[in-house]
Amino acid sequence: MHDTLRVLPDGFAVPDAGAGTPAAVFEETLSGLRRFRLLAAACRLGIFAQCHDLVTADTISASLGLRPNLAALFLESLAAQQLLEKEGERYKNTPFSDRYLDPSSPYCLQDQITLQVHLAGLWDDLEEILRDGPKTYEPEAWFSELIIPAMGATARCGILQKTVKAVTALPEFHNARRLLDIGGGHGLYTIAFCQENPALNGVVFDLPGVLPATRRYIDHYRADRVSCTPGNFFFDPLGSGFDIIFSSSNPGGKAPALIPKIRDALRPGGLFINKQGNDKVLDDPLMNLEWNLWAIKGVQKEPRQYLFSHSVPFEDYNRLLGEQGFVVRDVVALDEQSIMTVARKGNP
């Protein structure tokens, strides 16, 4: 005689795995997805460009071609997430949305959201990637179309200002005449440095396919003392006689092989200023997995976020600077995730 499978295998005992109820765990996970998709859709639709002043759901639905009943629920959801304010039956941007989500704001982060939407698509393909390996991108297209606009948008919201404040406080800065920004991408740091020092000329050195994006920023800010040099800093010469070489969050910033090239490109007494992510905080399992869902053609990454095969830990890199003709003068914590080394090239 077969045993009967019990509907309640442990009687009336409530199962407990020690992590809260399954419904609460799943709801917390899905709630983040819902909020992200809500925000991404609002950005793509141009909601925050429409809501400078109070508008009704009917006005929004007519303007954007949305179904009125769904538009009302959509705007109500944005208000519940404190992305819109509601007064009666009308909606307008919150101060946060005006500052960071309105495309007319200089601090708009929609390019960062565009990148995050792309990365979210990789998570949608997670099972395929786990079987077949990461999605591979051409480096110049990947950087110019997604990474550089996202990094530029994020930089303007705080880290650019903090970095420029720290660099312009250095005694040598206002006497500097030539600056090289290796892997400079958007060029915003060099543009800002040149604005702060009217005698400074800056050069952004990056891949040829990246520099059209750089030039758009240069043109936008009318930075006529900032120029571009195409090249790959791992293989091509950097030039010589620079007073300052600046590096920010690029694959060369922790590569020991580049130290001699950087040293040789500086004049005696010149400064190498290297801003990178803080190794001690950038180690999250989910972010490490996301880092490995995509690859850049011809570039070997390490499993841990923001590390490459040619990278060494930040402290080891600074030690190597000291062994190869630099005096590491200061290490500055710019925020929770960013740290900057100021190193002076010794006299021959």
- 160-196 exposure pattern, b = at least 16 Cβ within 10 A, e = fewer: bebbbebbeebeebeebebbbbbbbbbbbbbbbbbee
Q: Is the pLDDT of residue 199 over 80?
A: yes
pLDDT at 18 over 80: no
pLDDT in tens, 60-104: 999 999 999 999 999 999 999 999 999 999 999 999 999 999 999
* pLDDT value for 12: 72
Rounded Cα distance between 138 and 330, Å, is 36
C-alpha separations of 93 from 48, 96, 98, 107, 110 in Å = 6, 8, 6, 15, 15
**CB of 78 within 8 A of CB of 42?**
yes
- Dihedrals phi, psi of 30, to nearest 5 degrees: -70, -30
Residue 30: pLDDT above 80? yes
- What is the set of domains in the chain, with CATH numbers? 22-108 (1.10.10.10), 158-278+299-345 (3.40.50.150)
* Backbone phi and psi for residue 226, each to the nearest 5 degrees, phi listed first: -110, 125
pLDDT of 183 over the 70 cut: yes
Rounded distance between C-alpha atoms, residue 108 and residue 128, angstroms = 33
- For the record, the structure tokens of 189 come out as 């740091």
CB within 8 Å of 333: residues ≥ 6 apart = 278, 339
The candidate with the shortest Cα–Cα distance to 273, out of 296, 252, 248, 242, is: 248
Residue 3 clears pLDDT 70, i.e. is over it: no
28 pLDDT tier (thresholds 50, 70, 90): confident
pLDDT above 80 for 2? no
Measure Cα distances from 269 to 18, 265, 318 in Å. Answer: 60, 12, 17
Q: What is the pLDDT of residue 6?
A: 74
Average pLDDT of the chain is 92
**DSSP bridge partners of 92:** 85
pLDDT in tens, 107-140: 999 999 999 999 999 999 999 999 999 999 998 8
